[in-house]
Amino acid sequence: MSTEAADTLEISLQVNGAPVRRRVASRLHLADFLREELGLTGTHLGCEHGVCGACTVRVDGEIVRSCLVLAVQADGARVETIEGLSAAGTVGALQRAFHERNALQCGFCTPAMLLAAAELVERQPDASREDIRRHLSGNYCRCTGYQAIVDAVEVVCRAHRAGGIR
């Protein structure tokens, strides 16, 4: 990239394993890029200022709020969204558990909730219910009252610990 300030920039990145190259406005955030430019509408926008967590995606393997990352900052990065992680089966066990435990109603928060939960399952499968609540504290759900979500994540953590499903 040049060191002149620019209103639009050409970026190339990997999205769900596929290379993407686009010219984008500097002010465009990553969530709008994914939704509007790439049609990946599983990434939701609730608040656009970092509070609700609905826009959670993975950048270089770590969950981030895509409303607080600029698309130009994702240049050279590996981005994964719910679409890619679903297709790859990465969140399959969580999706089944959410279904079985009624951990979603309207589903607005669910893609982000799955991504946030997946990070915990991978990094801390021995998480207690309290740890699960703490880890998901940045993701709002206006329907379920959280209990069923914590139940579902707990089940998957336990199975992961036992070396079973992924």
Partner 1 sequence: MKAAAFSYVKPRSLAETFDLLERHGEGARLLAGGQSLIAALNMRLDTPRVLIDLNGLKELSGIRVDRDSIAIGALTRHRSLELSEDVSQHLPLIHAAMPFVAHAAIRNRGTFGGSIAFADPAAELPACCIALDARFVIRSRAGERRVAAREFFKGLYETDLRPGEVLAGGEFARSGVPYRYSFQELARRHGDYAIVGVAACARIGAGVLSGVRIAFCGMGPTPMLASAAAAALDGRACSRDVIAHAQASLAQDLAPFDDLYQTAATRMHLARVLLGRAIAQLTTDYEY
Ligand X SMILES: Cc1cc2nc3c(=O)[nH]c(=O)nc-3n(C[C@H](O)[C@H](O)[C@H](O)COP(=O)(O)OP(=O)(O)OC[C@H]3O[C@@H](n4cnc5c(N)ncnc54)[C@H](O)[C@@H]3O)c2cc1C
- Write out the residues near partner 1 by the rule CB under 8 A: 1-7, 9, 25-27, 29, 32, 48-50, 53, 56, 62-65, 67-70, 72-73, 116, 119-120, 133-135, 137-139
Q: Which is nearer to ligand FES, 38 or 45 (CB)?
A: 45
| Cβ count near 49 (within 10 Å) | 9
Binding mask 10-49 for ligand FES (x = CB under 6 A): -----------------------------------xxxx-
Q: Euclidean distance between the first and final Cα of the chain, in Å? A: 39
Min CB(56)–partner 1 separation in Å: 6
Q: H or E element: which one contains 20?
A: strand 18-25
Min CB(102)–partner 1 separation in Å: 23
Which residue type is seen at 164? G
Q: How far is CA 131 from the centre of its chain?
A: 19
- Which of 28, 95, 144, 154: binder of ligand FES (CB under 6 A)? 144
> For 26-134, where are the E strands, in sequence order?
56-59, 62-65, 78-80
Report phi then psi at 63, rounded to 5. -70, 140
| Count of positions on this chain that bind ligand FES (CB under 6 A) | 23
Min CB(112)–ligand X separation in Å: 13
- Which of 51, 87, 88, 165: binder of ligand FES (CB under 6 A)? 51
Residue 76 interacts with ligand X (CB under 6 A)?
Answer: no
> SS3 of 153, please?
helix
Residue 55 interacts with ligand FES (CB under 6 A)?
Answer: yes
Six-digit token pair at 117?
Answer: 């939960």
| Cβ count near 51 (within 10 Å) | 12
Q: Which is nearer to ligand FES, 89 or 107 (CB)?
A: 107
DSSP state of 67: G
| Chain contacts with ligand X (rule: CB under 6 A) | 50-51
